[in-house]
């Protein structure tokens, strides 16, 4: 019997059910979420009213992304591993249609996309395709981000670096957080699907690396002997992150900030950027504000703290 896939079913994009979400105030930024419950897998799109400046920081040995541009009209995050990159094409063609299919060099839509591997713990090959990408863009709305096992994070997991006979993987999802400092806005979004576990600010592990019998969690370093005895990492990998700010910075500064913020994620998720991860961080500047009180180092730290809240918000409410 062949594996159930997009070719064997008639899939209908669904909006996420009502549930926890983040309300945020960022004019010109819209969030779209659509899902295939049959997977389960899904897609999350961040759409910008005006073309915005973009820098991308990529880490790990298993990166899957498209659209390495210096500017962007939308970002598409999706499940489905390499197959899910098709969803970005759907976002691109839908944006083109909204512009009257104008093929002028300066009017073609710029869409960047990245994927997580979310096939590990489901028995089908259903992935976010072009139709789901189109539906996700059509669902985009301002001011609301669905949290937990929604959109691109529907089948996300964490703690996959543990010896699986002792410490079980756990479900994860997508998270977001928003902060404002005067005129400067920061929206942080993360789809957390990591080999590592999630840590809070006290250094306590709060998701992943859970002992199946006792319920105890402990960092990977504490069970290295078990890991060496059974080198059994699970298949989940890749954390996708989007940082959006309205603060204006030039390209070199954005590049260094994206590295600063991505490095800081090593406090939140451990281990991180492994050979099995394909971690991608998109740093977007819509460029409306020049706030002299918020320099690049300060904003990088503010963004990292906002991102920590987003990573913690990705944990589903069991």
pTM of the entire predicted model: 0.94
**Per-residue pLDDT for 225 more than 60?**
no
**Per-residue pLDDT for 209 more than 90?**
no
Mean pLDDT of all residues in the chain? 92
In the sheet with 197-199, reading across from the earlier edge strand, the strands are 205-207, 197-199, 269-270
**Per-residue pLDDT for 212 more than 90?**
no
Which residues are CB-neighbours of 152 under 8 A, at least 6 positions away? 42, 43, 44, 77, 78, 79, 116, 128, 174, 191, 240
Confidence of residue 165 (pLDDT cuts 50, 70, 90): low
Q: Which two tokens stand for residue 306?
A: 């906002």
CATH number of 24-313: 3.60.70.12
So which residues are the catalytic ones? 238
pLDDT at 224: 61
Task: Please tell me whether residue 58 adopts helix, strand or coil conformation.
Answer: strand
pLDDT at 60: 87
Residue 275: how many CA atoms within 13 Å on its side-chain side?
Answer: 1
pLDDT at 141: 98
Tell me the domain boundaries of the chain: 24-313
pLDDT at 46: 98
Contact 188, 240 (CB under 8 A): no
Average pLDDT over residues 112-125: 94
Residue 267: how many CA atoms within 13 Å on its side-chain side?
Answer: 15
pLDDT at 232: 52
Contact 218, 16 (CB under 8 A): no
Q: How far is CA 278 from CA 63, 64, 115, 235, in A?
A: 4, 7, 9, 12
Contact 33, 43 (CB under 8 A): yes
- Type and span of the H or E element at 47: strand 41-59
pLDDT at 215: 86
Confidence of residue 160 (pLDDT cuts 50, 70, 90): confident
**Per-residue pLDDT for 124 more than 60?**
yes
- Span 293-315, pLDDT tens digits: 899 999 999 999 999 999 999 99
Average pLDDT over residues 28-36: 98
- Span 271-291, pLDDT tens digits: 899 888 899 999 999 999 998
**Per-residue pLDDT for 261 more than 60?**
yes
Q: Give the lowest-confidence range in 22-31, 39-48, 55-64, 165-174.
A: 165-174
Which residues are CB-neighbours of 311 under 8 A, at least 6 positions away? 175, 190, 192, 198, 265, 268, 269
How many CB atoms are closer than 10 A to CB 22?
20
Contact 94, 100 (CB under 8 A): no
Contact 314, 173 (CB under 8 A): yes
CA-to-CA distance for 54 and 128, rounded, in angstroms?
24
- Span 47-68, pLDDT tens digits: 999 999 999 999 988 899 999 9
**Per-residue pLDDT for 168 more than 80?**
no
């Amino acid at each position: 019997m062949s594996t159930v896939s997009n070719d064997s079913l008639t899939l209908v994009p669904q909006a996420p059910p009502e549930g926890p979400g983040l309300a945020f105030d960022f004019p010109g930024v819209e969030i779209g979420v659509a899902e295939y419950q049959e997977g389960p897998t899904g897609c999350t799109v961040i759409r910008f009213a005006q073309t915005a400046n973009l820098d991308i920081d990529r880490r790990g040995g298993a990166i899957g992304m498209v659209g390495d541009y210096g500017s962007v009209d939308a970002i598409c995050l999706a499940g489905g591993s390499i197959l899910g990159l098709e969803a970005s094409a759907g976002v691109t063609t839908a944006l083109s249609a909204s512009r009257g299919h104008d093929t002028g060099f300066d009017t073609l839509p710029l869409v960047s996309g990245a994927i997580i591997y979310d096939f590990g713990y489901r028995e089908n090959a259903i992935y976010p395709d072009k139709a789901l990408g189109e539906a996700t863009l059509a669902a985009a709305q301002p001011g609301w981000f669905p949290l937990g096992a929604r959109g691109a994070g529907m089948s996300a997991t964490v703690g996959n670096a543990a010896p699986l006979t002792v410490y079980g993987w756990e479900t994860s999802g997508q998270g977001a957080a928003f902060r404002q400092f005067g005129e400067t806005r920061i929206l942080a979004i993360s789809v957390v699907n990591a080999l590592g576990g999630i840590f809070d600010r006290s250094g306590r592990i709060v998701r992943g690396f859970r002992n199946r019998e006792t319920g105890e969690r402990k960092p990977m370093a504490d069970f290295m002997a078990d890991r060496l005895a059974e080198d059994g990492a699970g298949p989940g990998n890749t954390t996708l992150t989007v940082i959006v700010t309205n603060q204006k910075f030039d390209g070199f500064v954005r590049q260094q900030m994206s590295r600063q913020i991505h490095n800081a994620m090593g406090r939140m998720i451990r281990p991180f950027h492994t050979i099995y991860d394909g971690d991608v961080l998109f740093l977007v500047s819509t460029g409306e504000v020049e706030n002299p009180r918020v320099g690049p180092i300060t904003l990088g730290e503010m963004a990292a703290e906002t991102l920590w809240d987003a990573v913690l918000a990705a944990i589903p409410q069991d």
